[in-house]
Structure 1
Amino acid sequence: MARRKKIYEGKAKILYEGPEPGTLVQYFKDDATAFNAEKHDVVDGKGVLNNRLSEYFMTGLNNIGVPTHFLRRINMREQLIKSVEIIPLEIVVRNVAAGSISKRLGLDEGSPLPRPIVEFYFKDDGLGDPMVSEEHILAFGWASQQDLDDIVALALRVNDFMSGIMMGVGIRLVDFKIEVGRIWEGDFMRLVVADEISPDSCRLWDVSTGQKLDKDVFRRDLGNLADAYTEVARRLGVLPRNTASVGKPTLIN
C-alpha cells in the first residue's frame, strides 16, 4: 500500500491526504498536552476515545442541520473529513466561569454566567493563542462581519445541542472550543464546524459531584485522563456501561 501524504501534524491529530479530492483523513493521537504543550504525556487509548466521541458529536450536529466537516469514521483512530479552509480563530463558548475567564475577571470558578459568552482567540501557538476582539478580526481580514455573525450563530447552536446532550447524562457543559472552516462550492461559500469536539476541547463537570471529566484532569493532575474520557463515552452510550476502564477500549460500532 502506498505511503500516505501527511498534510499537517498538530499536538493531538495528524491530517493525511484523503482518498478522494476534497477529503482528508484525520488521525487522533494519544498525546495529551497542556499550557501550550509545555506539559506533555502519552495517554494510551485517548486518541481512540476522542475519535469516537468526536464522531458522535459531529454526527449529531449534522443530523440537526448544523454543518460539519465530518463524513464518516474509518477505523478506531481515523475519520474521513472534508477539506476546509480553516479560519485562524478558536471560538470558545462559556456557560460557567472556569479557566482563563475566572482569572481575567476575578470570577469564582463554577459561577454561572448570565448568558453564554462567545470569545475569539487567534490561532497561533507561538503567541499562545491570544484573545482577540471582533475589531481585530475585521481589521486583519481573518473573517468578514457576515462570517462573524454566522460563526456566532453556529457556536450557539453547537452549545444548545451539546448542553442538552450532556445534561441528559448528568454532565454540565462548562465551556468548549470549536474551529470553523470555509467550504467552497463553485462561487458559493459556506461555514462548517471543523477540527474536533471531544473532552480535549470541552470542560465537562459531573452535575452532582462537580468531578471533572475533561482535560483539566491532566492539566491539574486530578487522576487518570483515560478514565475520565471513558466515563463520558460510557454515559453517552459510546461504550457499554459495564466496560471496565482500560487503556484500549472496545467501542460500539
Structure 2
Amino acid sequence: MKNPENRFRAALKAGRQQIGLWNTIGGNTVPEALAGCGFDWVVIDTEHSAVEVVDVLGALQSMAAWPWVSPVVRPAFNDPVLIKRILDFGAQTLLLPYIQSADEARAAVRAVRYPPAGIRGVAGMTRASRYGAIDGYTATANDEICLLLQVETRAALEAIESIATVEGVDGIFIGPADLAASLGHPGNPGHPEVVAAIEGAIATLKSLGVPSGILSLDEAFVRRCMELGTTFTAVGVDLALLVSGVRALRARFSA
C-alpha cells in the first residue's frame, strides 16, 4: 500500500481555491457530519475548543468516510510532542498557531519531519502508517505532510517574509482576531488598521509565491481576501453556525 497523496497540499501547490470550515465541537458525530457538507477542508481545532489531542483520532476516523474533504488539525501550540502524536493519528496537514519568527518556523518544520530532516519520533504501529500496511511509510511520510503556520501578531507580521520563506513551510494563515488584539483593537478585526495589515500580508505572500489563508465570518471581507489571493479560505465555525441558526429559529417564533 502506498502512502496516500495529501490532496490539500497538492491543491495548494496548484493554486486552487479551497473553501474550509472550522470544527470546534468535540466527539465523532459533528466532524463526520461536517465532512459530508462539501467543504474542501475542515479544521479540527484543539487550540480554542474543548477538543483534546486524543479526540483528534476519532475525528479523523469519522471524517475518513468522506474522501473529498481534507482534515486539517490545529494543535494547541508549536510543540513537537503534540505534533508527533497528531501525526501518528494520521493527520497529514497541520495548522500551527502563534508563530513569531523564522526560528519558530524552522522548529515547526523539524517537528513534522522524520530524521535526518527533522525530529519526529518513529513508531511502527500507528494509524498514519495504516498500522504497518503502508510500504516504507517512514521513508515517504515527509513528502505528504503539509505545514501551515499562523501569523497573528504585529511581531509576526514584521517577520512574515522570513517566516514564509523557511523551507518546508507550505502556507501562511493570517489570524484576524489575534492580530486585531495585537494591533490594539481587541474584538474589532474590521478596524481599518487591521484590514490594511491583513490585505498587506496577503499581497506580500502572493509576491513571494507562498499560499495564504484566513478565517472570517464576514462574507464580504472573506470574498475580498479571496480576490486578493487567499487560496485556503475558511468561511465558518460550527459552533457559530449552530448558535446563529438556533437564534434565528427562536426569533421566527417570537411574539
Superposed pair shares fold, TM > 0.5 = no
TM-score (norm 1): 0.28
TM-score (norm 2): 0.28
More strand by share: 1
